Structure 1
Amino acid sequence: MTAKGRNGAIDVLRVLAGLMVIGIHTSGEYVLEGVNDGANFLAGLCWEAVVQPAVPLFVIISGAFVLGRHEAWGIFYRKRMPRLLGILLFWLPFYWLWMWIKGDDIGSYLAGFWQGRSFVHLWYVVMLLGLYAFVPLLNEVIRRCEVDGENTARKRL
């Protein structure tokens, strides 16, 4: 930890994961667009394989900040959920407007809202909402394991 309470290793991982996300988006042109012959396709596949751990890395980084904390469930949700829901409520109409301008069937996207089809690039926020739904429960399990571990250690002494 530095003097300001930041963890330099996590900051480095965050920068690395961010660069890897850029790599995911740049390799897609070569891998997903059907250019399946030649050196560009193979280079795109190799690059894609190198940068794919970006999203799990971001999930791990998020977990490092929320797991093992001893917060009440209500406090946990009041601190995090409004920000994530705010992001969705702000950006989803822009995505839907963009789809409508492009001529996509906005009705099918709205109908598929609960299936996650209408989140486009916001899928990570939706995934975090799902993960955060279980974090207080996991923190309670961690807390009870710590207490049980301490009691077991005391009994052995």
Structure 2
Amino acid sequence: MTAHTPRGELAAAFSDPAAEALDWATAERLLTDAEIFWLSSVRPDGRPHVTPLLTLWIDGALHFCTGAGERKARNLRENPEVVLTTGTNSLDRGCDLVVEGTAERVADGAALRTVADAYVAKYGADWTFEVGDGVLDGEGGPALVYRVGPRTVFGFAKDPYAQTRFRFPPAD
């Protein structure tokens, strides 16, 4: 295990006695393969805001895009702390994941090209973007791109029930 690979810690109090901690390779595969995540952010007046969106797991972080005038972009200008969740709507199968972190704007042209290519690779030609000046340009207009490097990831396995926490060191 490298210094960059987090080790899962099983929360025994919330897990079946037969459960084992989720391994990071499995969690990372689930983060990569999930098609929909729910982004939770905070409005300037403190009320929560939750919305579904498409994400990409690239270089150890989740990436998503949004229009500059959308509620989530306006929230992130005031408070970049977010939670992204994905999983199944099943009680007894699958694994749900919760990613806590800070959303940071991505404006570098090379990084935006990587994100644009990844959207097409994962979601198909309907998600084609051109790289603009610090944004991705698509049918819906310019989109800001955000990167969320995880601070903490929780995995909630359901067969058997197991709650695993992965912690990440602060970014340099």
**TM-score normalized by structure 1?**
0.24
Q: Hey, which of these two has a bigger chunk of helix by percent?
A: 1
The structure carrying a bigger strand percent of its residues is 2
Normalised to the residue count of structure 2, the TM-score between the two structures is 0.23
The structure that has the greater radius of gyration is 1
Q: Which has the higher contact order (CA 8 A, sep 6+)?
A: 2
